[in-house]
Structure 1
Amino acid sequence: MGLPLPLLQSSLLLMLLLRLSAASTNLNWQCPRIPYAASRDFSVKYVVPSFSAGGRVQATAAYEDSTNSAVFVATRNHLHVLGPDLQFIENLTTGPIGNPGCQTCASCGPGPHGPPKDTDTLVLVMEPGLPALVSCGSTLQGRCFLHELEPRGKALHLAAPACLFSANNNKPEACTDCVASPLGTRVTVVEQGHASYFYVASSLDPELAASFSPRSVSIRRLKSDTSGFQPGFPSLSVLPKYLASYLIKYVYSFHSGDFVYFLTVQPISVTSPPSALHTRLVRLNAVEPEIGDYRELVLDCHFAPKRRRRGAPEGTQPYPVLQAAHSAPVDAKLAVELSISEGQEVLFGVFVTVKDGGSGMGPNSVVCAFPIYHLNILIEEGVEYCCHSSNSSSLLSRGLDFFQTPSFCPNPVSRKSGPLTSWWRGLRPQLPLPLLPFDGPR
């Protein structure tokens, strides 16, 4: 026999009130605070994949497709191939020169290859078309080697190296296949149709320039038969009279959108002391591989500490010298901090100061973030201002005196006078870009 209707309604109302009271109590309840030290379990053993290279790692590269992946690690005289979880697959011997076991030396045919000397890997990049790995060393006039990838079972192996060098087409004063410089080389590979273009930047000095005719900046196309590079490639080099005093150090290179970029550390001008350094961004066209589209922009990185020490000068501290860099798209949170859209690519750079007197780098460093889109806008604005300015009372230098005879603005672009007339270094703008939120220099 059921409850009378009034009594049933009263019971339901009481149950509802009890539930609301319990919910209100739960809203005010919080998890008890557990000290961080109590949450650690030192008995857990973590196994992290690792590989011991047996020497200083000079370069790395990675490849991955739908079925295979590999990591390539270069050390002095060796190129290691690693599979998933960094397990060792094989080792290729790249030196010393004159050693019978040098596998890359043997691919170039019988010697003489010069006196015995260790090989340092200066370039290690993927050629996306084949696909293949390309390595360039500090020996054999900086020539490169092509290593095609061969899947064997569940691992990728390197085919026998192909020497990218044609003896009949190279001589000391015009060496098409001499790519890498022992002082440092950066390479970015761009695939266009069925061709691969190598955007190369190398540091030079008088001895190197006289030995096998490398170039400061060049755009080289790989031959279809992989016997070397096409002759007659567009290039630039520091003028002979500045080679001893004007060293350009190429720190980083990357491809973004329609352009290839190089980051350099170099003297402020050809007349400034070699210790007066700053950082520049170099831009080349990745759609039309022409050297005449060369552009430069000075990157200024400053830091304003939240708390200024007593007696310290007001204003921001300049950090002119780049140490390392990386480019990547940013997520929503960082995009808001940088006042850009989510997914835009940003260049991150670690900058340091120069000690008093230029004797070395300072102990502190900061990170500056430069949205690539904003950098391109500044370059285009600089070109527009330079080439179409009507203010002839104060001529602006194009700032590339180490590559060409002095050139000034305004100067309308004219192909008749050569591609150098369309170049623009930049106006040394103070980039209106925020720093990453660090508490202070590190």
Structure 2
Amino acid sequence: MELLLSLPQSFLLLLLLPANPAAGEDWQCPRTSYAASRDFDVKYVVPSFSAGGLVQAMVTYEGENESAVFVAIRNRLHVLGPDLKSLQSLVTGPAGDPGCQTCATCGPGPHGPPGDTDTKVLVLEPALPALVSCGSSLQGRCFLHELEPQGTALHLAAPACLFSAHHNRPDDCPDCVASPLGTRVTVVEQGQASYFYVASSLDASVAASFSPHSVSIRRLKADYSGFAPGFAALSVLPKYLASYSIEYVHSFQSGAFVYFLTVQPTSMTDAPGALHTRLARLSATETELGDYRELVLDCQFAPKRRRRGAPEDSRPYPVLRVAHSAPVGAQLATELSIAEGQEVLFGVFVAGKDGSPGVGPNSVVCAFPIDLLDTLIDKGVERCCESPVHPGLRRGLDFFQLPSFCPDPVSRKKGPLLVSCMRMAKYRLLPFHH
């Protein structure tokens, strides 16, 4: 109605008067300029919030009657309500500063060197429900913030320090979760317990400081005093920490599995080389790492228009920047040749670390149906572990375990063996320019 009232009167008359073309002439609607059909005086007010710094993490919560947005920046955690209005602000650093509200909850004990707190983990614990934040300071420990409803908004209760000083040592620290180099976490509920699937980037310095791990599955204690000891974990072997860097880009759960997406070198050589993207899969129902699997994601872009008979000129985009998983609708499902409602992993890939491919778009979006990824992983396991096995076939993942071959039943008796399933999942979608 507002658009109709804003139209020029002459245009309204043309709409209202009946058409009466001259005999023998084809009547056509008069051409109306774009500007004449729009009211540029309408002002749109978009809710906004200034965080006061670079946003490091963000989580949204939707309850039955209340909702909230949690925004983390350096040394501060903001709680936003409807229309992005600020409801609460919690000081999370610098560590050692008297004004640090989270630091004070840990009481006396080894806190590590003072410094700013960059938020490395911000996830929801659905059982309470609660928000869990983990920072780069205080040995990577985490804090639990229970959610308290206030009308249609939420408020964070006083934080609880998920750290027990007498249960943690430099060489064995179950409550040291976050790495200053980056950590991804997915929370999985199993019965009455909450398990944190954690993946952290390491180097020699970080590995020596508070004994974090590359991949681990940690159970949150029932009294919320920290994480239970004796959890399953994998870490890059010490001799590769300086040369083989794994960047964890994204983590998510789909069905019975938890997935991590990584960017890492293509080879184990000491010299820095090319990078590619891998998908790591763990069971969301078993808290052991014997079913750990990896798969290489191959994202390529080929121009749609090319000369008839000319070979396809595809360009690789091996480095993942951001990712998201979601079920697809009917139209996109048809384009991907899958069923409507199936979950698909979408990733934005670039040609290299600097994002400059030289020729072609700066980045492309590739889509990988989750069912396809699982099928390729299962085929890789069959090829390695079931008869007949190709002689000399390596299990891979030598940065996590000693070199071994398939099926290697002797080594299996000493502990779980990992399978890399070094197959490639290849899927192309459409270019994404920026």
TM value normalised by structure 1: 0.87
- 1:60-79 alignment runs, 5 A limit: 60-79=58-77
The residue that corresponds to 2:397 in the other structure is 400
Q: Tell whether the 8 Å contact from 2:60 to 2:69 is kept in structure 1 after alignment.
A: yes
SS in 2 for 1:55: coil
Q: Are 2:423 and 1:428 equivalent residues in the alignment?
A: yes
SS in 2 for 1:71: strand
Choose from 185, 191, 204 the match for 1:193. Answer: 191
Taking the aligned partners of 1:33 and 1:70, their CA distance within structure 2 comes to 48
The residue that corresponds to 1:228 in the other structure is 226
Deviation at 1:256, TM superposition (A): 0.4
Are residues 264 and 88 of structure 1, via their aligned partners in 2, closer, same or farther at CA, if it must alter by over 3 Å?
Answer: same
Are residues 82 and 413 of structure 1, via their aligned partners in 2, closer, same or farther at CA, if it must alter by over 3 Å?
Answer: farther
SS in 1 for 2:424: coil
Please say which of residues 316-325 and 106-115 is displaced more in the overlay.
Answer: 106-115
- 1:263-342 alignment runs, 5 A limit: 263-271=261-269, 273-307=271-305, 315-342=313-340
Taking the aligned partners of 2:290 and 2:378, their CA distance within structure 1 comes to 15
After superposition, the C-alpha distances for 1:119-145 in whole angstroms (9 at most, x for unaligned) are 000000000000000000000000000
The residue that corresponds to 2:23 in the other structure is none
The residue that corresponds to 2:13 in the other structure is none
Deviation at 1:427, TM superposition (A): 3.2
SS in 1 for 2:102: helix
After superposition, the C-alpha distances for 1:197-234 in whole angstroms (9 at most, x for unaligned) are 00000000001111100000000000000000000000
Q: Tell whether the 8 Å contact from 1:269 to 1:399 is kept in structure 2 after alignment.
A: no
Deviation at 1:314, TM superposition (A): 5.2
Q: Tell whether the 8 Å contact from 2:79 to 2:155 is kept in structure 1 after alignment.
A: yes
- 1:148-163 alignment runs, 5 A limit: 148-163=146-161
The residue that corresponds to 1:12 in the other structure is none
Gaps of 5+ in 1: 1-21, 23-27
The residue that corresponds to 1:4 in the other structure is none
Deviation at 1:42, TM superposition (A): 1.6
Q: Tell whether the 8 Å contact from 1:258 to 1:285 is kept in structure 2 after alignment.
A: yes
Q: What CA RMSD, in Å, does the superposition of the two structures yield over aligned residues?
A: 2.3
Letter in 2 for 1:257: G
The residue that corresponds to 2:17 in the other structure is none
Are residues 437 and 265 of structure 1, via their aligned partners in 2, closer, same or farther at CA, if it must alter by over 3 Å?
Answer: closer
Taking the aligned partners of 1:351 and 1:31, their CA distance within structure 2 comes to 47
Taking the aligned partners of 1:210 and 1:319, their CA distance within structure 2 comes to 34
Choose from 242, 256, 264 the match for 1:258. Answer: 256
Larger Rg: 1
Letter in 1 for 2:275: L
Letter in 2 for 1:328: A
Please say which of residues 406-415 and 151-160 is displaced more in the overlay.
Answer: 406-415
Please say which of residues 296-305 and 29-38 is displaced more in the overlay.
Answer: 29-38
The residue that corresponds to 1:11 in the other structure is none
- 1:163-178 alignment runs, 5 A limit: 163-178=161-176
Choose from 126, 140, 144 the match for 1:128. Answer: 126
Deviation at 1:102, TM superposition (A): 0.3
SS in 2 for 1:107: helix
Q: Tell whether the 8 Å contact from 1:179 to 1:214 is kept in structure 2 after alignment.
A: yes
Q: Tell whether the 8 Å contact from 2:383 to 2:389 is kept in structure 1 after alignment.
A: no
Are residues 157 and 40 of structure 1, via their aligned partners in 2, closer, same or farther at CA, if it must alter by over 3 Å?
Answer: same
Taking the aligned partners of 1:303 and 1:158, their CA distance within structure 2 comes to 46
Deviation at 1:290, TM superposition (A): 1.3
Deviation at 1:414, TM superposition (A): 7.5
SS in 2 for 1:198: strand
SS in 2 for 1:333: helix
Q: Tell whether the 8 Å contact from 1:219 to 1:233 is kept in structure 2 after alignment.
A: yes
| Count of residues in Structure 1 that have an aligned counterpart in Structure 2 | 404
Letter in 2 for 1:427: M
SS in 2 for 1:124: strand
The residue that corresponds to 2:379 in the other structure is 381
Taking the aligned partners of 1:189 and 1:117, their CA distance within structure 2 comes to 28
Taking the aligned partners of 2:410 and 2:82, their CA distance within structure 1 comes to 52
Letter in 1 for 2:429: L
Q: Tell whether the 8 Å contact from 2:109 to 2:165 is kept in structure 1 after alignment.
A: no
The residue that corresponds to 1:13 in the other structure is none
The residue that corresponds to 2:5 in the other structure is none
If each structure's helix is expressed as a fraction of its own residues, which one has the higher value? 1
Taking the aligned partners of 2:212 and 2:75, their CA distance within structure 1 comes to 22
Identity in percent: 73
Letter in 1 for 2:129: P
Letter in 2 for 1:397: R
Are residues 403 and 379 of structure 1, via their aligned partners in 2, closer, same or farther at CA, if it must alter by over 3 Å?
Answer: same
Q: Tell whether the 8 Å contact from 2:67 to 2:152 is kept in structure 1 after alignment.
A: no
Deviation at 1:388, TM superposition (A): 1.7
Please say which of residues 94-103 and 267-276 is displaced more in the overlay.
Answer: 267-276
Are residues 369 and 31 of structure 1, via their aligned partners in 2, closer, same or farther at CA, if it must alter by over 3 Å?
Answer: farther
Deviation at 1:39, TM superposition (A): 3.2
Are residues 30 and 279 of structure 1, via their aligned partners in 2, closer, same or farther at CA, if it must alter by over 3 Å?
Answer: farther
Taking the aligned partners of 2:367 and 2:169, their CA distance within structure 1 comes to 44
After superposition, the C-alpha distances for 1:46-103 in whole angstroms (9 at most, x for unaligned) are 0111110010000001111111111100000000000011110010000011111100
Deviation at 1:269, TM superposition (A): 2.1
Taking the aligned partners of 2:254 and 2:141, their CA distance within structure 1 comes to 27
Letter in 2 for 1:83: G
Taking the aligned partners of 1:428 and 1:234, their CA distance within structure 2 comes to 26
Deviation at 1:316, TM superposition (A): 1.1
The residue that corresponds to 2:16 in the other structure is none
Letter in 2 for 1:426: C
Deviation at 1:441, TM superposition (A): 6.0
Letter in 2 for 1:407: S
The residue that corresponds to 1:141 in the other structure is 139
Choose from 113, 119, 134 the match for 2:117. Answer: 119
Deviation at 1:315, TM superposition (A): 2.8
Deviation at 1:192, TM superposition (A): 1.0
Q: Tell whether the 8 Å contact from 1:172 to 1:211 is kept in structure 2 after alignment.
A: yes
The residue that corresponds to 2:356 in the other structure is 362
Taking the aligned partners of 2:30 and 2:406, their CA distance within structure 1 comes to 70
Gaps of 5+ in 2: 1-19, 21-25
